[in-house]
């Protein structure tokens, strides 16, 4: 192992950044941001978004990195090191990645399926989409329990393989190649998308400012929606950034990294908008969000592109696959780190590989159940008024545990343990904006997180909208 017993360490600054940006850049950037941007005020939304990235995103990423590196632990032991009474918060932080993996791996499996299907069309093989109606094709796939389960397991297996390689020779090595590849593929897709006739409508949808959305109490909803997107996109409020921070060398500047990660995540989200919406509008389709956008609308775009369509489609779904898998490896590593810590503390021998395999198997069981549910298409019993098992797990993690964890992180380091993280942050240079940093931790981040919590509960239909 790279340093200490069972504990990894990043090999280089670049490698860490690729892994950390990879953990942030995920399906949220591709299928969430572009639609939210266009629907919630375009440029007007973007201003709010960027403001929140700075006041909440950078502040939280910095705090989570500092918490991880100061304690050198995964999320559970990190919180217990701060104070034993914060242990439940640690558990929140590890339950969330578990639950998210249940459905994130299924969605990753969808990407693998679409890579395969588009490649099938490239080779005129029988397993291609072959001109089928995109909506019907998607429906046929996600209701097919055997197929979705198999693809989910393939994606879970790939995730596990990378994590099995370890922190620097698995996660870092993979991310160093995958993330630049994602970037260049995104550029290629943008070039094609914005040069399609009629593409300008998509650009207008994304960026033309609509200040109307702020009218009356509208601004509260915009703030909740932008806050929710910042928070999900940066994978805050769970152990990921803490865990990745715990593998950082003491000589690395936390402040630098805490700026670069949110900056890159935002740039890629905007690029995703430019890659997707112009093509959607040029093809005369309606903008959308979620799986429908990626697997139905965009598949329709590729199908209408003629002979280059399938190759383009395969490349695009490969891009989405990279975005998804660099997030899922971070989720799995967060779980693995917690168990490694537990063993270390108990003085037991650490077998990282066995821990990784066992965790992956447990997650695989959950993921297969979510796949069998087929997005609620098989009449499985549903709870909390949700229509799919995906939504139920998402409600618990993203709807409740994550915003509550992020809120409490602000409250704890803002009010109860002010300055606890400062020494760690200042190891490599003064925190010149300390007053602002503390103000954000104390007031801005908790307020925004409370608003995000409210917005999530409204979206999941748990409470009625107040505004
Ligand atoms: N940040 C990822 C995205 O934008 C999603 C994610 C959230 C991944 C939480 C892991 C944990 O899609």
CB of 331 shorter than 6 A to ligand 1: yes
Tell the residue number behind the tokens 């291609």, with chain if given: 128
Of 234, 298, 296, residue with least CA distance to 266:
234
Question: Which of 335, 293, 320 has its CA nearest to residue 202?
Answer: 293
pLDDT band with cut points at 50, 70 and 90 for residue 3: very low
pLDDT bracket for residue 467 (50, 70, 90):
confident
- Backbone region of residue 26 per phi and psi (left: phi > 0; alpha: psi in -120 to 50; beta: other values): beta
Task: Give the Å distances, CA to CA, from 195 to 273, 274, 320.
Answer: 14, 11, 21
Binding site membership of 327 for ligand 1 (Cβ less than 6 Å):
yes
Rg for the chain (alpha carbons), in Å? 21
| The predicted structure's pLDDT at residue 5 | 45
The CA–CA distances, whole Å, from 452 to 43, 92, 262, 440 equal: 21, 17, 18, 16
> For residue 135, what are the CA distances in angstroms to 40, 142, 299, 300, 456?
26, 11, 9, 9, 28
Cβ–Cβ under 8 Å, residues 141 and 147? yes
Q: Which two tokens stand for residue 75?
A: 């999320």
The pLDDT of residue 201: 96
Question: What is the per-residue pLDDT across 254-297, written as a single tens digit (0 to 9) for each?
Answer: 999 999 999 999 999 999 999 999 999 999 999 989 899 999 99
Measured in Å, residue 251 CA sits from the centre of ligand 1 at 27
Q: What is the mean pLDDT of residues 143-166?
A: 97
Mean pLDDT of the chain: 94
**Residue closest by Cα to atom 6 of ligand 1:** 235
φ, ψ at 6 (rounded to 5°)? 75, -5
Tens-place pLDDT, residues 283-341: 999 998 989 999 999 999 999 888 999 999 999 999 999 999 999 999 999 999 999 99
Alpha-carbon distances of 187 from 194, 272, 313, 315, rounded to whole Å: 11, 9, 15, 12
Does the CB atom of residue 233 touch ligand 1 within 6 A? yes
What's the token pair of residue 224? 């909740």
- What's the CA-to-centroid distance between 289 and ligand 1, angstroms? 15
How many Å lie between the centroid of ligand 1 and the Cα of residue 126? 34
Work out the widest C-alpha separation in the chain, in whole angstroms.
Answer: 65
- Proportion of the chain above pLDDT 90, given as a percent: 89
C-alpha 97 to ligand 1 mean position (Å): 10
* Contact between residue 364 and residue 153 where contact means Cβ atoms under 8 Å apart: yes
- Find the mean pLDDT for residues 456-464: 91
Pocket test for ligand 1, best of 171, 232, 324 (most atoms within 8 A of CB): 232
The CB of 24 under 6 Å from ligand 1? The reply is yes
- HEC string for the chain: CCCCCCCCCCCCHHHHHHHHHHHHCCHHHHHHHHHHHHHCCCHHHHHHHHHHHHHHHHHHHHHHHHHHHHHCCCHHHHHHHHCHHHHHHHHHHHHHHHHHHHHHHHHHHHHHHHHHHHHHHHCCCCCCCCCCCHHHHHHHHHCCHHHHHHHHHHHHHHHHHHHHCCHHHHHHHHHHHHHHHHHHHHHHHHHHHHCCCCCHHHHHHHHCCCHHHHCCCHHHHHHHHHHHHHHHHCCCCCCHHHHHHHCCCCCCCHHHHHHHHHHHHHHHHHHHHHHHHHHHHHCCCCCCCHHHHHHHHHHHHHHCCHHHHHHHHHHHHHHHHHHHHHHHHHHHHHHHHHHHHHHHHCCCCCCHHHHHHHHHHHHHHHHHHHHHHCCCCCCCCCCCCCCCHHHHHHHHHHHHHHHHHHHHHHHHHHHHCCCCCHHHHHHHCCCCCHHHHHHHHHHHHHHHHHHHHHHHHHHCCCCCCCC
pLDDT of 9 over the 50 cut: yes
Q: 266 CB less than 6 Å from ligand 1?
A: no
Whose CA is closest to 232, among 269, 178, 267? 269
Ligand 1, atom nearest to 27 Cα: 12
Mutate to test the pocket of ligand 1, among 19, 25, 26, 106 (most ligand atoms within 8 A of CB): 26
Residue 326 CA to ligand 1 center (angstroms) comes to: 9
Phi and psi at residue 465, to the nearest 5°? -70, 135
CA–centroid distance, residue 168 to ligand 1 (Å): 21
Q: What is the pTM of this model?
A: 0.95
Q: Say if ligand 1 is within 6 A of residue 57 CB.
A: no
CB 186 within 8 A of CB 319: yes
Query: Is 100 near ligand 1, meaning CB less than 6 Å away?
Result: yes
Q: In 317-327, which positions are buried (b, 16+ CB within 10 angstroms) versus exposed (e)?
A: bbbbbbbbbbb
339's CB contacts (< 8 A; 6+ apart) are: 355, 359
Q: Is the CB of 26 under 6 A from ligand 1?
A: yes
Instruction: Give me the pLDDT at residue 6, please.
Output: 53
Task: Give the Cα separation of 355 and 352 in Å (integer).
Answer: 5
Phi, psi angle pair for 96, to nearest 5°:
-60, -50
What is residue 399's predicted lDDT score, i.e. its pLDDT? 87
pLDDT at position 4 over 70: no
Q: Give the position, in ligand 1's atom list, of the atom nearest the Cα of 331.
A: 10
Of 53, 60, 327, best ligand 1 pocket probe by most atoms within 8 Å of the beta carbon: 327
Model confidence pLDDT, tens digit, residues 37-70: 999 999 999 999 999 999 999 999 999 999 999 9
pLDDT digits over 183-217, tens only? 999 999 999 999 999 999 999 999 999 999 999 98
- pLDDT tens digits for 103-126? 999 999 999 999 999 999 999 999
pLDDT over threshold 70, residue 1:
no
Instruction: Judge whether residue 365 has pLDDT over 90.
Output: yes
User: If you measure from the C-alpha of residue 26 to the centroid of ligand 1, how many angstroms do you get, rounded to a whole number?
Assistant: 5
CA distance 306 to 196: 13
**Any ligand 1 atom below 6 A from CB of 29:** yes
CA triple 43-218-460, angle to 5 deg: 100
| Alpha carbons 80 and 197: distance in angstroms, whole number | 57
Residue 242's pLDDT is 97
Length of the chain: 467
Question: Contact 294/99 with Cβ under 8 angstroms?
Answer: no
């Amino acid at each position: 192992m790279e340093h200490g017993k069972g504990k990894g360490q990043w090999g280089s600054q670049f490698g860490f950044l690729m892994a950390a940006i990879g953990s942030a850049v995920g399906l949220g950037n591709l299928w969430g941001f572009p639609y939210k941007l266009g629907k919630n005020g375009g440029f007007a939304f973007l201003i709010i978004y960027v403001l929140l990235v700075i006041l909440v995103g950078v502040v939280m990423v910095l705090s989570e990195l500092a918490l991880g590196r100061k304690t050198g632990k995964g999320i559970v032991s990190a919180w217990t090191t701060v104070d034993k009474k914060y242990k439940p918060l640690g558990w929140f932080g590890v339950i969330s990645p578990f639950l998210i993996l249940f459905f994130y791996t299924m969605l990753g499996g969808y990407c693998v399926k679409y890579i395969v299907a588009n490649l099938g069309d490239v080779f005129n093989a029988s397993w291609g989409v072959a001109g089928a109606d995109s909506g019907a094709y998607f429906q046929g796939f996600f209701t097919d329990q055997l197929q979705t389960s198999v693809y989910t397991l393939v994606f879970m297996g790939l995730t596990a393989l990378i994590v099995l390689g370890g922190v620097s020779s698995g996660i870092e090595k993979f991310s160093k190649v995958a993330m630049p590849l994602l970037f260049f593929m995104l550029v290629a897709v943008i070039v094609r998308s914005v040069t399609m006739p009629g593409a300008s409508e998509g650009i207008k949808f994304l960026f033309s400012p609509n200040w109307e959305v702020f009218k009356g109490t509208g601004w509260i909803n915009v703030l909740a929606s932008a806050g929710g997107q910042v928070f999900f996109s940066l994978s805050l409020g769970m152990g990921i950034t803490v865990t990745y921070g715990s593998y950082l060398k003491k000589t690395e500047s936390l402040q630098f990294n805490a700026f670069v990660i949110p900056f890159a995540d935002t740039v890629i989200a905007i690029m995703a908008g430019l890659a997707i919406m112009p093509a959607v509008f040029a093809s005369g389709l309606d903008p959308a969000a979620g799986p429908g956008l990626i697997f139905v609308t965009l598949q329709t775009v590729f199908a209408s592109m003629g002979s280059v369509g399938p190759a383009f489609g395969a490349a695009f779904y490969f891009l989405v696959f990279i975005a998804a898998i660099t997030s899922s490896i971070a989720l799995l590593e967060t779980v693995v780190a917690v168990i490694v810590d537990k063993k270390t503390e108990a003085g037991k021998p650490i077998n990282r590989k066995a821990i990784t395999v066992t965790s992956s198997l447990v997650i695989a069981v959950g993921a297969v159940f979510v796949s069998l549910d087929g997005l609620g298409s098989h009449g499985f019993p549903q709870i909390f008024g949700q229509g799919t098992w995906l939504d139920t797990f998402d409600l618990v993690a993203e709807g409740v545990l994550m915003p509550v964890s992020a809120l409490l992180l602000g409250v704890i380091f803002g009010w109860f343990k002010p300055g606890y993280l400062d020494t760690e942050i200042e190891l490599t240079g003064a925190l010149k904006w300390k007053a602002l940093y503390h103000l954000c931790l104390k007031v801005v981040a908790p307020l925004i997180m409370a608003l995000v919590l409210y917005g999530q509960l409204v979206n999941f239909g748990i409470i009625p909208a107040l505004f």
